[in-house]
Structure 1
Amino acid sequence: MPGRVSRVSSATSETVELLRALVREACVNTGEASSGGEIRAVRVLQRFLAEAVERRCCETRVFEASPGRASLVARVRGTDPDAPALGLLGHLDVVPVDAERWTHDPFGGDLIEGEIWGRGTVDMLYLTAAFATAFREVALAEERPRGDLLLLAVADEEAGSDYGLRWLLREHPDAFGVTEALSESGGMRMGDHVVVEVAEKGSAGRRLVVRGTPGHASIPFGAQSAAYAAGEVLQRLAAVAPAVELGALWRSFVEARIDDPDLAGRMLDPVRLDAALLELGGIAGYAHAASRVTISPTVLRAGQAHNVIPGEAHIDLDIRTLPGTTDDEVDALLAEMLSGLSAEVEVRHLRGWPATESPEDEPLFDAVRDAIAQTDGSPVVPIMAAGGSDARLLRELGIPSYGFGLLSADWSYERYRQRIHAHDERIDVASVELTVEALRRIVSARVG
């Protein structure tokens, strides 16, 4: 229908221009409280929504957890208080870049041969821009929607949300009132299927404090360097092999991604899975992570002066857990690994959270599945994400939340992982258009 195509094309153009503007604000989150500067992106969104605000079609509020660390919450109120309240949850911050490794300016927002270049285009500014476009369309429509629609454009997702959604939920819970939500980590291709993220692994961060006997580096006899002890701990960590656990989502992943019946059969067998990983190519990393607890040493510190034998070393561990894994089980795994070193190594708990999952029998999941089928003709496959997102904070409150998107046909899961947080991050206009069109259908089905 010519009218529909024209409308989609216009919305795509607006979304692309909004995405480019958000990229140019360079809201880089280093993890420091003074970084981010998400207020700049909030101002971009305020300008984008200005007409709807001036016409009193929506309400907007800006919240600052600290100077510059701003989030925007916008709401279109529906006519039926019993209808769903759909939240479109996007973050505004991006990870740092090594600009010298980029082909084009990482904050230029350049549109080159059908692709928008820039840090954050994939994670997740393209989706935040699409959410804003869908929100503005509903706000400016002649008729009010049946249910509430909320745009939640938040700070600090990349560093744990202490200045973003976590802070908002604690300090301003009245600003939300959503009953269901869409966020990131969906839309890539698994074979003929499109991924919808319904779950995320948990996190159980730990710091291993390794102690030795300090001394002057010129007279090492009698000293015991904590660096040597840390080396032994790292060797033991490298040998840890947490048990394979194939959860409820594993079979659907295998069926969607693996065509070879023999390989699929081995992947469904916990005993034979690890040998099969070697045949999976670019998807092996995800398959490994989704089938067990993983432990990754990420930060190692020992000593301060070159002529002092260190008496203490720190090893930070990024531990990602499966649904049902408890802190006690993580501690027991580490205690077994550290057997015989307990006097030299102290285990400290860092930030953590449990794995979260939203059920597949929720009306919002049905709407996502139907919208993707109507837009693209593709079936969906629910998966558990190996990483984390702000959606877990809503799931912890019992709010069904799903990772959404609809990327173009060339966006395999492998390509998505290669582009996210990478040099030369970019996304194609075709993916923006597909996402906007599918999102329209979801919004119409849930609150229209």
Structure 2
Amino acid sequence: MDRSENSLEDAVALLRSMIREACVNTGAADSGQEIRSVRVLQRYLDDAVRAGALDLQVFESAPGRASLIARVRGTDPDAPALGLLGHLDVVPADPDGWQRDPFGGELVDGEIWGRGAVDMLYLTASFAVILREVALAPERPRGDLVLLAVADEEAGGEYGVKWLLREHASAVRVTELLSESGGQRMGAHVAVGVAEKGSASRRLTLSGVPGHASIPYGATSAAYGIGEVLHRLREVAPAIQLGPLWSAFVGARVADPDLAERLLDPVRLDAALPELGRIAGYAHAVSRVTISPTVLRAGDAHNVIPAVGTIDLDIRTLPGTSDADVDELLRTMLGDLADRVEISPLRGWAATGSSTEEPLYGALERAIREVSGAPVVPIAAAGGSDARHFRELGIPSYGFGLLGPEWSYERYRDGVHGHDERIDVESIGLALGALRRIVAERVGARPAAG
């Protein structure tokens, strides 16, 4: 058995182990408990640490909220320091909706089942495997290779990357980065994530006149105000804004020239969206600011007419959209209701992106084409990831992956946070092959045999 086959076996075993650790992040401070998967990685990397080939540190932002940073030091301090950023936490799973135990890590017919298999434990495992390969190679690499296996990505990174960058910046030092949100097939192309939408969540607060629910005359329920605002939000849509990645997406995904022409026209785009099938949701999201009411509150007791109501809005923004732009957009949509509604910011961040002219992007292109024979297409993610924190620091960061030919964007989205999440062994092997080539090119590490 050659070294690459051993590496694939290792990646599969690591993935199954981390699924079984069930590091479920509900958003509560004491959830996640990523220390369990950190211990899995520590055991796997122990021989490289004992050989002096790897510097490994574990950081706890709170009890059990652990992240692991492992660095293979290069010989040239001026060479790139490539970061491999993978998170250890997963979202909850309802066992009643699954065909198999979501935390069983079962290997069935060439697929590993379990929560986090796609998002993103298969990549975290692959990153660890390639790091160990480089650490134990006969020659040191020219540049640093750094595994960042972190807590709390699913809840915003307060106990993970954000805390590490604030409290242990020197340990996290990289000059370029690979993380999640890539590898899906867009037609004949493989997607590489180069950008992410921003978040500008808001809370709308409305006032009413309270009273006893048995005598409603003279009172005004804040619940009615919520209904009026929801109607306005539903009827008025933000303007379409087609950024520089839109035409690349259409060119890669849409074969029909007539449909492609309509999708490139902001006036005709929305009428054409239904013809895209299940990828229409993604196309809609990345072509405009989106506003989604998510949490409604009014009243505490069934016999009291509520005086205050609130609506929480998940708002995802495009590059160049400021907080002032968001507030003005909401006031415009509210119209004559605007004076009766208080707009308050919730958490948020700006949209981020990395240039396709960076050397790391070129290495991604070449590696993916060599392994799969497919060209790449740069895409923007509708959601967020930990990579944005590095882009905000000016560090080129890309969503990596290389999934099998049957892994359309739709299949990928079905797996992320969905029932019956699973990944096939073939895709893990493809990702390892591409990653090995990228690492060899960027930090001068000798690839494994085979």
Q: TM-score range by the shorter chain?
A: over 0.9
Instruction: Name the structure 2 match of 1:173.
Output: 169
In structure 2, list runs of 5 or more residues that go unmatched. Answer: 445-450
Aligned partner of 1:394 in structure 2 is: 390
Q: Distance in 2 between matches of 1:324 and 1:360?
A: 18
1:56-80 alpha-carbon deviations (Å, 9 max, x no partner): 1111111111111111111000000
- Comparing 341-350 with 132-141, greater Cα deviation is found at 341-350
State how far apart, in whole Å, the 2-side matches of 1:337 and 1:245 are. 17
**Equivalent-residue separation in structure 1 for 2:25 and 2:189 (angstroms):** 33
Q: Which residue of 2 aligns with 1:419?
A: 415
Distance in 2 separating the partners of 1:377 and 1:242: 39
- Is 1:248 aligned to 2:237, yes or no? no
- Is residue 2:307 matched to residue 1:314? no
**Residue from 86, 104, 111 that aligns with 1:90:** 86
1:273 correspondence with 2:265: no
The letter of the residue matching 2:360 is L
Cα shift at 1:341:
2.0
Aligned partners of 1:101, 1:135: CA distance in 2, in Å? 36
Of 223-232 and 181-190, deviating more is 223-232
Hey, what does 2:329 align to over in structure 1? 333
Which residue identity is paired with 1:340?
D
| 8 Å CA contact retained: 1:217, 1:308 | yes
Superimposed CA distance per residue, residues 207-238 of structure 1 (whole angstroms, 9 cap, x where no aligned partner): 01111111111111111111111011111111
C-alpha distance in 2, partners of 1:69/1:308?
42
RMSD between aligned alpha carbons?
Answer: 0.9
Which residue is equivalent to 2:448?
none
- The separation in 1 between residues aligned to 2:368 and 2:316, in whole angstroms, is 30
**1:341-365 deviation digits (Å, cap 9, x = unpaired):** 2343110001111110100011100
Other-structure match for 1:66? 62
Mapped to 2, the partners of 1:37 and 1:17 lie a distance apart of 20
2:440 corresponds to which of 430, 439, 444: 444
Partner of residue 30 from structure 1, selected from 7, 26, 33:
26
In the alignment, is residue 304 of structure 1 matched against residue 284 of structure 2? no
Residues of 1 paired with 2:296 and 2:202: CA distance?
A: 12
SS of residue paired to 1:49: helix
Q: CA deviation at 1:278?
A: 1.2
Local SS of the residue matching 1:169 = helix
Tell me if 1:204 matches 2:192: no
Letter in 1 for 2:266: P
Match status 1:290 vs 2:286: yes
The CA distance in 2 between the partners of 1:25 and 1:346, in whole Å, is: 44
Equivalences, count: 444
Tell me by how many angstroms 1:240 deviates. Answer: 2.1
Contact 1:212 1:344 survives alignment (8 Å): no
Aligned-partner SS, 1:341? helix
SS in 1 for 2:297: strand
Alpha-carbon deviation of 1:439?
0.4
After TM superposition, the score normalised by the length of structure 1 is: 0.98
SS of match in other structure, 1:195: strand
Partner-residue secondary structure (3-state), 1:361:
coil
With normalisation by structure 2, the TM-score equals 0.98
Aligned-partner SS, 1:228: helix
CA distance in 2, matches of 1:98, 1:310: 34
Shift of 1:301: 1.3
1:339 CA drift (Å): 2.2
Q: Which whole-Å CA distance do the structure 2 matches of 1:286 and 1:127 have between them?
A: 23
List per-residue Cα deviations over 1:353-378 (Å, max 9, x = no partner).
11101000111000010000111111
The match for 2:36 among 40, 53, 58 is: 40
Q: Does 1:434 align with 2:430?
A: yes
Deviation of residue 190 (structure 1)?
A: 0.3
Q: Which amino acid aligns with 1:440?
A: R
- Report the Cα distance in structure 1 between the residues aligned to 2:17 and 2:77, rounded to whole angstroms: 35
Q: Distance in 2 between matches of 1:414 and 1:306?
A: 42
The one-letter code of the counterpart of 2:407 is W
- Once the two structures are TM-superposed, the CA of residue 401 in structure 1 deviates from its matched residue by 0.2
Aligned to 2:116: 120
Q: Which amino acid aligns with 2:9?
A: S
SS of corresponding position for 1:90 = strand
Unaligned residue ranges in structure 1 (runs of 5+): none
Whether 1:366 aligns to 2:345 is no
Question: Partner amino acid for 1:36?
Answer: G
Distance 1:248 1:339 in 2: 32
What is the Cα deviation at residue 8 of structure 1?
2.1
Residues 437-446 or 337-346, more deviating: 337-346
Q: Does 1:342 align with 2:335?
A: no
**Shift, 1:44, TM fit:** 0.6
